[in-house]
Structure 1
Amino acid sequence: MILLVCYGYLSSSISLVQSGLVVDSPQYTVIRSESDFEIRLYGESSWVTALVRGNSFLNSTKSGFHRLYQYIHGANVNSIRFTMTAPVLTSFITPQTNVSIYLVRTYIASESPPQPNPELNLQIDKWRSHCVAVRNFPGFARDDNVDKEVEALVSSLNKHLTGTTTIIQDKSSYTVAQYNASRHLTGRLNQVWINVTVPGCPAY
């Protein structure tokens, strides 16, 4: 086995600059970088999560984000309004039935975020530190291109990391990260994430 060498550097992702605005984002360290993907070690972070059942990535993301939008605009027990953060995540969970499960999340730059109003059916998730493989892609994330990007990321991981101690935790579950509002028609950034285990990453 070839040990994956960690040559990490601290990312500046804590504040992404988009269209002249500074947007909070969770910190990470890049521990491996290739031309078509990188492996990141994310630190602990807090997310507000909406569970959505459906068979469309796009429709489920819109439905979940509508609830998250209300939360960050004051629909929480403390009536606190938060500034928008990036990215918005949509995680696809391998279905046990004919209906898929999507978890739509927004990052909260607070160690103790307030609980959501009950009618929103949201939950606060505390993420432990863990590693993800990340592939960038432009344009809009849609039902007809997300699966292709996931397949491309898995193919790249198999190509570059075969023979190493890297483990893809679940090839059938993935996360799509979107960094831009829908009104931004050009210069868009999206990513697909897959949880991985590599030397130097904590168990997750």
Structure 2
Amino acid sequence: MTSRALGAAVGVEGGVGPSNNSSFCTESKECLEYELVCKTEEYEVRHYSPTRWVSTDAEAYFMGVGAAMAFRRLFQYITGANNQGVQMEMTAPVLVRIPEDTRVWEPAVYTLSFVLPAAYQDQPPTPTNDKLYFTEMPSMDVYIRSYGGWMLSVTSRLHAHLLTQELARVQAAYNHSYHYGVGYDSPLKLINRHNEVWYVAKGDVICSDPSEPTPPHTTTTTHAPDTPSFSPSHIAPNTTSDSRTDSPANRPTTPSQVSGVTPSTRPGQNRSANATVLQADHPWNNTVEA
């Protein structure tokens, strides 16, 4: 079992800590840590240190279906499907690597990743499923947009689009070939959910309109209670979401408000004729066979 890396090879160090260091990691004992570089009205920039993840790929027409298939494999790994029979605590967040050039009529490859607990960052047990592999997140800066509710295909695409519009406006350089859908909560959590969209920055980060002077900022960490929350190789669950992005005025009240995207909803919700499709689209639905 070998590791894969996105970007330059890096040594693994730190990067995973107690969840009480973050205001929105409330369901996991350990969470990915970061430094807040700066924040604007539309996004924030974070710096992440190198970390190791366990990952798997799934080909599907919809992000939620692919993520469900991949989630099942990864959950089996942390609950004992490894060469040591080790059971590990679930960590947060869960990352889904989403290619940018997906088309509705063609399947795409989605990569789901769990960050390994601190105790297993250096020497993780080998998966028994050969569809799993280890990936390395290098040291990197990331442009991030946060939102509440459920991380479904429609919401993920909407917020990715809104973030790229702003990054284009401020002329920020970032990797255009993929982005990450990032979830911090289990399906059982109904309120105060937190999700994110990530784009990996290139070069110097931009935290203001280039036509305006850049205000000074001080790097802070997730230890601050009011701080809101890889490029793993291939790539491989909390605070209330920002009131602006999670308000009814800033997100679709129904999936039909975003054209060209299959509507989706939380697993188990069966209130319409579309319940079957909606249930399948939920990324943490593990009813799909791997």
TM over 0.5: yes
The corresponding residue for 1:104 is 112
- Separation in 2 of the partners of 1:54 and 1:174? 17
Partner of 2:98: 92
Aligned runs of 1:63-82 on 2, under 5 Å? 63-82=69-88
Counterpart Cα distance in 1 of 2:185 and 2:154: 19
Q: How many residues align?
A: 185
Q: Which of 29, 37, 42 lines up with 1:31 in the alignment?
A: 37
- Structure 1 residue runs of 4 or more that deviate by more than 4 Å after TM superposition: 11-14, 17-22, 94-97
Query: Shift in Å at residue 27 of structure 1?
Result: 2.0
Look up the match of 1:176.
181
Partner of 1:60: 66
State the shift of 1:93 in Å.
2.4
TM-score, scaled relative to structure 1: 0.82
Q: CA deviation at 1:69?
A: 0.4
C-alpha distance after superposition, 1:117-173 (max 9, x if no partner)? 135x100112211121111010001122211110111112223x32xxx41111x41
Offset at 1:23?
2.9
Specify the code of the residue in structure 1 equivalent to 2:138. Answer: R
Partner of 1:125: 135
Aligned amino acid, residue 80 of structure 1: V
Highest RCO, 1 vs 2 (Cα 8 Å, sep ≥ 6): 2
Cα–Cα, structure 1 residues 113 and 62, in superposed 2: closer, same or farther, change >3 Å? same
Instruction: Choose from 151, 159, 167 the match for 2:161.
Output: 151
Which stretches in structure 1 are left out of the alignment for 5+ residues?
Answer: 1-10
- Please, what TM-score do these two structures have when normalized by structure 2? 0.59
Question: Counterpart in 2 of 1:116?
Answer: 127
User: Whose radius of gyration is greater, 1 or 2?
Assistant: 2
* Distance in structure 2 (CA, Å) of the matches to 1:141 and 1:68: 18
| SS across alignment from 1:36 | coil
Cα distance, 1:19 vs structure 2:
8.2
The CA deviation at 1:81 is 0.9
Identity within the alignment, %:
22
Equivalences for residues 12-51 of structure 1 within 5 A: 15=19, 16=22, 21=27, 23-51=29-57
Query: How far apart, in 2, do the equivalents of 1:26 and 1:80 lie?
Result: 21
In structure 2, how many angstroms separate the alpha carbons of the residues matched to 1:138 and 1:20? Answer: 15
Q: Aligned Cα RMSD in Å?
A: 2.5
* Contact preservation (8 Å) 1:94, 1:100: no
Counterpart residue identity of residue 90, structure 1: V
- Asked if the contact 2:28/2:89 (under 8 Å) is kept, the reply is no
- Distance in 1 (CA, whole Å) between partners of 2:42 and 2:16 is 20
Matches of 1:168 and 1:17, distance apart in 2: 27
**1:196 maps to what in 2?**
201
For structure 2, the 5+ residue unaligned runs are 1-14, 206-230, 232-290
In the alignment, residue 50 of structure 1 is paired with which amino acid?
Answer: T
